[in-house]
Amino acid sequence: MGVGHSGNCADLGARSGEEGADLGFLRANLGFIPLSPHPPPGKNIVCMVGAGLSTPAGIPDFRSPGTGLYSNLQSYNLPYPEAIFEIRFFKKHPEPFFALARELYPGQFKPTVCHYFMRLLQDKGLLLRCYTQNIDTLERVAGLDPELLVEAHGTFFTSHCLRPSCRQRYSLAWMRERIFSSLVPKCEKCQGLVKPDIVFFGESLPARFFTLLESDFEKVDLLIIMGTSLQVQPFASLISRLLINKEKTGQGDPLMSLMGFGGMDFDSDKAYRDVAWLGDCDSGCLALAELLGWKVPPTPSPTREFWGSLCPQTLRGPP
């Protein structure tokens, strides 16, 4: 099922025709989400998010033709675009990465509607976990509890010396000072190369990702996928899954589905739990908030202040 989007807040949730039917499907399938500030136990939402969440903040994604990072790296004299994020290349030639890092470094960008929507889910006690592919730390800036956040591709928030015998840890501020001084960061303890804790090609995902993924699978009631083509199996087959993205993703091919990979089904006669809201992520979150009745917060709060600056029909936070 696909739903278009509107940038006009007054239009959200008040649509007709095929689109209205799909919004009705959303309302029916997400109806378990309580509007009270004290939801009953067992209503757990997991968000899995990617680059599409942060592009409205001005951060480019990686692969979009013409605008993505990989299309605009000519000045770095790389053998191929992906080399800038390969650990072997980085250890020999760290300069291109740190030059790029100056353009992308946290502190220059602000969270988007989607980031604050997840904060709202957290404040209402509905967010079990946010799994993000992004390294920009905007989830943290929006106020997500680090315990509810899994940065699957790592983060700029901390850095470590790469020497196995050292592994000295450094802060975001320490790394920022060196990057913006055009210095290659070296360890103060052993003079080894220091790298932000983002996951490069050739490195393993954080252990916390695998540990929590397994336990969260057993508890989740609703999976919301935003701004990513991330394949979402092996999530339990009976949970509802909502995709907010510019295009449908995650279907896979029949053979991959039989093997247990991919498998989102929006259009077939057997479709019963997957729904896609097609458009930009910010508009999708505003539409979903409208359906849930989350408008103006009754008391001052960071979420009230943020939503109030976006739209006259803003979200309702917990009292």
Q: Cα separations (Å) of 151 from 135, 147, 292?
A: 7, 11, 27
Residue 1: band (very low, low, confident or very high) from pLDDT cuts 50, 70, 90 = very low
Per-residue pLDDT averaged across 288-292, rounded? 79
Q: Does 67 score more than 80 pLDDT?
A: no
Q: CB under 8 Å to 169, separation ≥6 — which residues?
A: 158, 159, 160
Q: Does 285 score more than 50 pLDDT?
A: yes
pLDDT value, residue 25: 45
- In the annotation, is 5 catalytic? no
- Sequence letter at residue 72: N
Residue with the larger pLDDT of the pair 282 and 11: 282
Residue 319: band (very low, low, confident or very high) from pLDDT cuts 50, 70, 90 = very low
Residue with the larger pLDDT of the pair 80 and 2: 80
- Reduced to 3 states (helix: H, G, I; strand: E, B; else coil), residue 30 is coil
Helical pair 281-291 and 17-29, crossing angle rounded to 10 deg:
70
Question: Which two three-digit tokens encode residue 77?
Answer: 């004299």
Residue 185: band (very low, low, confident or very high) from pLDDT cuts 50, 70, 90 = very high
Per-residue pLDDT averaged across 284-297, rounded? 74
> Where would I find the H helices in 84-236?
87-92, 95-104, 113-123, 138-141, 172-179, 207-217
pLDDT value, residue 279: 87
Residue with the larger pLDDT of the pair 271 and 103: 103
H/E stretch holding 240 = strand 240-245
Question: Which two three-digit tokens encode residue 122?
Answer: 């957290």
Per-residue pLDDT averaged across 275-279, rounded? 84
pLDDT value, residue 65: 58
pLDDT value, residue 200: 92
3-state SS track over 254-311: HHHHHCCCCCCCCCCCCCCCEEEEECCHHHHHHHHHHHCCCCCCCCCCHHHHHHHHHC
285 is in an annotated binding site: no
Mean pLDDT (the chain, rounded)? 73
Query: Which domains are seen in the chain, by residue range?
Result: 21-57+112-153+206-298 (3.40.50.1220), 60-108+154-198 (3.30.1600.10)
Q: What is the pLDDT of residues 217-249, one digit of tens each?
A: 778 888 888 988 655 444 445 467 788 888 887
pLDDT value, residue 261: 39
pLDDT value, residue 236: 45
86 and 94 in contact (C-beta within 8 Å)?
Answer: no
pTM, rounded to two decimals = 0.74
Q: What is the pLDDT of residues 122-165, one digit of tens each?
A: 988 889 999 998 888 899 999 999 999 999 889 888 999 999 99
Per-residue pLDDT averaged across 116-123, rounded? 90
187 is in an annotated binding site: yes
- Reduced to 3 states (helix: H, G, I; strand: E, B; else coil), residue 51 is helix
In the set 93, 115, 153, 160, the catalytic residue is 153
* Burial of residue 238, with CB atoms counted within 10 A of its CB: 0-12 exposed, 13-18 middle, 19 or more buried: exposed
190 is in an annotated binding site: yes
Strands across the sheet containing 149-151: 2-3, 274-278, 240-245, 222-226, 45-49, 127-132, 149-151
161 is in an annotated binding site: yes
Counting residues of the chain whose pLDDT is more than 70, the rounded percentage is: 65
